Amino acid sequence: MSRMEKTWLLVVVAVISCTAFCVYAAGPVPPQDRTAWWQEARFGLFIHWGLYSILGRGEWVLYQEHIPFAEYERLADRFNPKQYDPKEWVALAKQAGMKYIVLTTRHHDGFCLYDSKVSPFTSVKTAAGRDLIAEFASACHSAGMRMGFYYSLQDWRFPNVTPHGRLIPEQTLQPLVDQAFAQIRELLTQYGTVDILWFDGMWPYDAQRWRSQELIDLARSLQPDILINDRAGLPADFATPENTVAARSRPWEACFCLNRSWGFAPYDRNYKPVHEVLRLLASCASQNGNLLLNVSPDEHGRIPVEQAEILHQVGRWMQLHGRAIYGARSSPVVAPNLGMESRVGDKVYLLIQRWPGSTVPFAWCGSKVRQARLLATGQLARIEQKADRVWLHDLPAYPPDPYLNVIELSFTGEPRAADPAYQ
Ligand code: GLC
């Protein structure tokens, strides 16, 4: 070997060893946090839609009224949603400030809104003659809206697979387990990128009977970045408290009805007022959680006007105040005398439910407040601070936003809580 060659060899060996050492020293590459976009999003739309929307008595009507299946299945001959335009749904969600939509591809009644080869009971093989999920997927994809599929393991066409049914032996449940595997495969291969798989209805069986870990592995093999909820009986990516804001120490999403029904129920006019919807959203975001808010289209595919109107109002609020919600985390600086608070980056947002007047006081603040801005109007407050106690002066005597007012706080350095020792 010539001198020149020796030198080159030395250089190559040195570079390789150096790189190897750096990789070793840096440790294994951390798995990419799949939930990052979803934790940033904080707000999604849930849609319950299916054959039950024809009867208008909620999505449990088949079971609750003990309708013979032969009678219920005839609804499929009438289900032909001429006014279904998922582009409108997506536009409504966008306008409301929502960042993802989860739609029932198949609820407990077993009726598929999509083209399932393993079931005769689908919108493609009955009156509609359409793959409604394909249309939904294309509307979401072309608008850049993240898309989730709700899928019920439960299927009331199978005897004794009901919430209170007798437990059935393994071989009797087998066809239903097989169906779940086949349908999850269909849903995750026929419609492009699916961002969320939202399981439901596992009762009365457990994760072992449903082979949930295998189901989850199948889903991830088909859609590596998909987020999966905890309702196949395993924790997976996120928890799903229902109709309650029950904060968890892991990623979580509270799902709420706008009234008291998931499926279309025109008699149910028990709508949450806009300020209540915003309170729920703020309450989730300020505790590191998401809100999945449900609408219930009618049999034609129209979202009831009362529901659309609430979402419009929420959207108007989000335009001015969304910065307090997107990517929000719990805040070290708190103001329980006023309402709630969230933290985004180095800013803290006071979500004020009890507006105290032209001076807004709070305490136990461990950092110096540099700027306080009322988001509804952009007005800056005059700041007075004595140690941990802060007064924001010269604000309006009455709150300018009719639903929920927010003050954005900037600090010198990071926001911190004061030392809790009380003197
Ligand atoms: C429950 C209900 C169901 C609804 C769901 C929404 O599991 O069975 O009807 O779809 O909750 O979270």
**SS3 state of residue 312:** helix
- Pick the atom of ligand 1 nearest to 152's CA: 10
- Pick the atom of ligand 1 nearest to 48's CA: 10
d(CA 304, CA 292): 18
CB-based contacts of 182, cutoff 8 Å, min separation 6: 116, 117, 118
* Window from 13-17, 119-123, 337-341, 379-383 with minimum mean pLDDT: 13-17
Does residue 195 have its Cβ closer than 6 Å to ligand 1? no
For residue 143, give the H/E element and its range.
Answer: helix 132-143
Question: Structure pTM?
Answer: 0.92
pLDDT at 169: 80
d(CA 323, CA 190): 35
Q: What is the pLDDT of residues 375-393, one digit of tens each?
A: 999 999 999 999 999 999 9
**SS3 state of residue 16:** helix
| pLDDT, averaged across the chain | 93
Strand order through the sheet with 347-352: 329-330, 339-344, 347-352, 405-412, 368-374
pLDDT at 1: 59
Does residue 242 have its Cβ closer than 6 Å to ligand 1? yes
Rounded to the nearest angstrom, the distance between the alpha carbon of 255 and the centre of ligand 1 is 9
d(CA 54, CA 45): 21
- Pick the atom of ligand 1 nearest to 58's CA: 9
Confidence of residue 12 (pLDDT cuts 50, 70, 90): low
pLDDT at 163: 74
Mean pLDDT of 138-142: 98
Q: Are 93 and 312 in contact (CB under 8 A)?
A: no
- Pick the atom of ligand 1 nearest to 104's CA: 10
**SS3 state of residue 259:** coil
Rounded to the nearest angstrom, the distance between the alpha carbon of 64 and the centre of ligand 1 is 14
Which domains does the chain show, CATH number per domain?
Answer: 28-324 (3.20.20.80), 339-412 (2.60.40.1180)
